[in-house]
Amino acid sequence: MASITIDGVTKRYANGVVAVDDLSLAIEDGEFVVLVGPSGCGKTTTLRMVAGLEEVSSGTIRFGDRVVNDLSPKERDVAMVFQNYALYPHMTVEENIGFALKLAKVPSGERERRVREAAHVLGLEPLLDRKPSQLSGGQRQRVAMGRAIVREPNVFLMDEPLSNLDAKLRVQMRAEVLRIQRRIGVAALYVTHDQVEAMTMGDRVAVLHRGQLQQYADPQTLYQRPANLFVAGFIGSPAMNLFQGSLVRDDGVALMLGSQRIGLDERFLAAHPAIAAHVGGAVIVGVRPDALGRFGSVGEPNSLAATVELVEELGNEQLVHVRVDATPYRLEVDEEDLEPAAGLVGGGAEAIARIDADQSVKSGQQ
């Protein structure tokens, strides 16, 4: 068992593409870290470098205190689970899980013990005699995990292991993958492009964009205090609304969004010196859809006039699509807060979305 340290690692492919650019990331022993970002941001390349399947162009990778740059995947003793986990169709579950141990010439008694133990952890004991074709997608996924963990690896690496499963099973398997990782207790690095998966699974989440680390933090910090606009827009579903505006001093201090004015309390500014520093300048204001969400009548103070375009029913709440001046925004509101807007949809009539100055400016000011 070991921690993983990625120190100033860059990967430049032969065609000149810099897939990973000076990445530094430390994963503690026993920690579950998720690498998340849009397609092509360098997630898989990072994982493959940790596994030893891809050479680093520069930088150092360590497991514990040991530099592993020049070690083969086998010497690194990593377990990997990929998106396309091919099980051997002619082998039983037991044989599939034990195959790597057989290749490694582990004696049969020891092999059986370790396969049984992995099957126990994964809840696969009743299925040991089945062939892959007789299993559900989730069960097959667990066999693939079994094959990986039976080797009692130093570190556990997963590349989109749940993306072939249907939505419901994926949610169940998230919890299961975490439970297994906690049980075997090794450092895990998990790649996904799905920010919801990242936020629900990671002890810490590393957000990558164009090969560069944008922020590395626990999910709450990423959500509440995004380090930059990319993270602010990427983390959260539905995505954060981003308003272009300016902070002006007139009779008091106000946030101007287009022609609309929202007064800011002096005490609020005193408590947020980073925001106060921008009075007189342009700002981008980030507002989570659930932080902007009460409809009133036109003319209320500290409110934005908006045109309601569409209301989507989400079950326990509604997602309301509005336009403020020409810019579209999305708001999540409860039934009772939506009432004044009912009947406005499609009619193009104006509603007022109240904006709470305290919440709005602090969530994404740049």
Binder to ligand ATP among 2, 27, 32, 44 (CB under 6 A)? Answer: 44
* Nearest to ligand ATP of 58, 134 (CB atom): 58
Displacement of CA 140 from its chain's centroid (Å): 24
DSSP string, 211-238: TEEEEEE-HHHHHHS-SSHHHHHHSSSS
Pair 38, 193: CB distance under 8 Å: yes
258 sits near ligand ATP (criterion: CB under 6 A)? no
Q: Does 150 bind ligand ATP (CB under 6 A)?
A: no
Q: Kindly report the CA angle at 365 between 359 and 366, in degrees rounded to 5?
A: 170
67 binds ligand ATP (CB under 6 A): no
Which one of 8, 17, 58, 129 is in contact with ligand ATP (CB under 6 A)? 17
Distance, in Å, from the CA atom of 321 to the CA atom of 345, rounded to the nearest integer, reads: 10
| x-marked contacts with ligand ATP along 222-251 as a string, rule CB under 6 A | ------------------------------
What is the distance between the alpha carbons of residues 320 and 290, in angstroms, rounded to a whole number? Answer: 10
Binding-site size for ligand ATP (CB under 6 A) equals 13
Q: Does 352 bind ligand ATP (CB under 6 A)?
A: no
Q: Which of residues 183-222 bind ligand ATP (CB under 6 A)?
A: 193
* Distance of alpha carbon 326 from alpha carbon 309, whole angstroms: 12
For ligand ATP, which is the closer residue by CB, 82 or 268? 82
- Judged by CB under 6 A, does residue 43 bind ligand ATP? yes
Selected range binding ligand ATP among 13-21, 64-72, 124-132, 318-326, rule: CB under 6 A: 13-21
Q: Which one of the spans 41-49, 105-113, 135-143, 267-275 is the region binding ligand ATP (CB under 6 A)?
A: 41-49
For residue 281 the two structure tokens come to 């300048």
Which residue has tokens 């036109």? Answer: 298
Give the shortest CB-40-to-ligand ATP separation in angstroms. Answer: 4
From the list 33-41, 272-280, 290-298, 326-334, the region that binds ligand ATP by CB under 6 A is: 33-41
Task: List the beta strands (DSSP E) in the chain.
Answer: 4-12, 18-27, 32-36, 58-63, 66-67, 78-81, 155-159, 187-192, 204-209, 212-217, 241-249, 253-257, 260-264, 282-287, 295-296, 303-313, 318-324, 327-333, 350-354
Residues that bind ligand ATP (CB under 6 A): 13, 15, 17, 19, 37, 39-45, 193
